[in-house]
């Protein structure tokens, strides 16, 4: 009985103490009678609710959580907005509007890199069930680091959203933690598949018969090149630069004329949603012989041509990807120009203007009614 009385008296003593402290405020605060009276009423109601709850053995428990970790908001050249929606449930018969009641922290992590995070320290807790939103912005400087981890994870996207909510009331504090994780492209590699498909389209035999009239040599000869195998693989990748290695297994079918393969002879560019990502050469052979590969008649060699990308392009592409509903069109154009030594017109692989491979990819990081998918890799 004594414990029961103390529980009843304790909230009233706390209110009395609070009232005595309030009347000691400076004259300006004392003039605001509505604030003081309202504050006391709120505390009295909560104290009364506290007493009844304690007497019955049940404490009303406010709750909150993240309803939607993110929707894309406005996208500009400078920033990409992420809108997080959270819900609250206040079982008390009054709004808790007396200070820092609800504290929210949340974050988005892609492949282990935190690309967005936010916090809100002053959120009122209205009575009943409500939803509220909070905006944060993608950290553009982190997208280059995400790209590195994305490639090292074999182009798999690991997305994790985390929310931490703390509710503070005169009765008790509550904490809620929630998270969401999903994986995309676990068994697919859309970027490298698009590059490899374009490269493989250069495979074939490209020869012509030409009459030679050089000094004592007066005869028809076979001139050309045969690409037996072609593929694209990732080379060195760091936060600033990505290197793509374009590999050709080239055979010289001629019995007479050597051929030269020069890195500048690879004319390649890759556009993703109109953003130029990779670019190499011009299709015109250089006069610098230090990086040239000579294939004597009948010889077969592997030629590796590095193509680099400035990783600042990643943020440009990702913003375009988001603006397009997390969809991207990848277009890879390629042509290799080989020089038959000393006999005029170069050999174009393939003929004409080269080959262009197009495919599509889509992610579902914040697109609710969408699944990750790609056509890249299809022939």
Q: Determine the Cα–Cα distance for residues 374 and 121; give it in Å rounded to an integer.
A: 41
DSSP assignment of 194-262 equals: HHHHHHHTT-EEEEEEEEEEETTEEEEEEEEEEEEEEEEEEEEE-SSEEEEEEEEEEE---SS--EEEE
Which residues neighbour 83 within 8 Å (Cβ) at sequence distance 6 or greater? 70, 71, 72, 73, 133, 134, 135
Q: How confident is the model at residue 349 (pLDDT cuts 50, 70, 90)?
A: very high
Which of 84-98, 112-126, 142-156, 282-296 tops mean pLDDT?
142-156
As a whole-number percent, the residues of the chain with pLDDT over 70 amount to 80
Q: Is the pLDDT of residue 252 over 80?
A: yes
pLDDT at position 70: 86
Q: Is the pLDDT of residue 40 over 60?
A: no
Q: State the residue for tokens 């009276």.
A: 37
Q: Is the pLDDT of residue 373 over 90?
A: yes
109 vs 4, residue with greater confidence: 109
* N-to-C CA span, the chain: 83
97 vs 176, residue with greater confidence: 176
Phi, psi of 2 (to 5 degrees): -65, -45
Whole-prediction pTM value?
0.78
Could you report the per-residue pLDDT of 150-161, keeping only the tens digit for each? 999 999 999 998
321-339: average pLDDT: 96
User: Based on the number of CB atoms within 10 Å of its own CB, is 314 exposed (0-12), middle (13-18) or buried (19 or more)?
Assistant: buried
Mean pLDDT score of the chain:
82
Provide the strand spans (E) within 47-186. 63-75, 80-90, 102-110, 113-123, 128-137, 157-168, 173-184
108-126: average pLDDT: 86
Say if residues 131 and 67 touch (Cβ distance below 8 Å): yes
Could you report the per-residue pLDDT of 180-199, keeping only the tens digit for each? 899 999 999 999 999 999 99
150 vs 369, residue with greater confidence: 150
Pick left, alpha or beta for residue 166 (phi over 0 → left; psi -120 to 50 → alpha; otherwise beta).
beta
pLDDT at position 289: 63
What six digits make up the tokens of 66? 């993240």
Could you report the per-residue pLDDT of 50-80, keeping only the tens digit for each? 444 444 446 677 777 778 888 999 998 888 9
Work out whether the CA dihedral 233, 238, 242, 246 comes out positive or negative. negative
Say if residues 126 and 92 touch (Cβ distance below 8 Å): no
What six digits make up the tokens of 223? 């001139």
pLDDT at position 63: 77
User: What are the C-alpha distances in Å from 327 to residues 92, 311, 321, 367?
Assistant: 45, 20, 5, 10
Q: Sheet containing 217-237: which strands, arranged edge to edge?
A: 204-214, 217-237, 241-251, 300-310
Paired with 212 in beta bridges are: 219
Q: How confident is the model at residue 99 (pLDDT cuts 50, 70, 90)?
A: low
85-100: average pLDDT: 77
Give 210-217 contacts, CB < 8 A, sequence gap 24+.
210/343, 210/344, 212/256, 212/343, 214/342
What six digits make up the tokens of 101? 């009641």
Q: Determine the Cα–Cα distance for residues 43 and 48; give it in Å rounded to an integer.
A: 8
pLDDT at position 172: 74
């Amino acid at each position: 009985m004594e414990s029961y009385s103390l529980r009843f008296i304790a909230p009233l003593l706390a209110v009395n103490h609070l009232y005595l402290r309030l009347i000691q405020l400076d004259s300006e605060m004392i003039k605001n009678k509505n604030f003081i009276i309202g504050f006391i009423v709120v505390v009295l109601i909560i104290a009364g609710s506290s007493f009844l709850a304690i007497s019955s053995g049940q404490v009303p428990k406010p709750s909150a959580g993240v309803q939607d970790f993110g929707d894309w908001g406005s996208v500009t050249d400078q920033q990409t907005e992420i809108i997080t929606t959270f819900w609250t449930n206040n079982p008390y018969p009054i709004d808790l509007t007396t200070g820092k009641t609800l504290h929210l922290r949340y974050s988005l992590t892609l492949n282990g890199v935190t690309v967005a995070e936010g916090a809100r320290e002053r959120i009122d807790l209205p009575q009943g069930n409500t939803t509220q939103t909070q905006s944060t912005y993608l950290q553009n400087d982190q997208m280059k680091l995400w790209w590195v981890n994305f490639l090292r994870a074999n182009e798999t996207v690991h997305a994790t959203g985390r929310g931490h909510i703390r509710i503070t009331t005169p009765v008790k504090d509550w904490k809620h933690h929630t998270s969401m994780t999903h994986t995309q492209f676990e068994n697919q590699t859309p970027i490298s598949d698009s590059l490899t498909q374009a490269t493989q389209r250069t495979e074939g035999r490209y020869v012509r018969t030409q009459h030679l009239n050089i000094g004592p040599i007066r005869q028809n000869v076979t001139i050309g090149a045969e690409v037996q195998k072609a593929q694209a693989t990732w080379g060195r990748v760091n936060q600033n630069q990505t290197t793509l290695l374009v590999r050709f297994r080239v055979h010289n079918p001629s019995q007479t004329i050597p051929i030269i393969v020069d890195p500048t002879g690879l004319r390649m560019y890759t556009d993703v949603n109109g953003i130029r990502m990779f670019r190499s050469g011009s299709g015109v052979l250089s006069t610098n012989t230090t990086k040239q590969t000579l294939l004597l008649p009948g010889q077969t060699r592997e030629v590796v041509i590095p193509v680099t990308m400035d990783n600042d392009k990643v943020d440009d592409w990702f913003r375009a990807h988001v603006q397009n509903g997390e969809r991207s069109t990848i277009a890879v154009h390629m042509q290799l120009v080989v020089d038959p030594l000393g006999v005029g017109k170069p050999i174009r692989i393939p003929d004409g203007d080269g080959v262009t491979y197009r495919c599509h990819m889509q992610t579902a990081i914040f697109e609710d009614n969408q699944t990750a998918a790609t056509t890249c890799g299809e022939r």
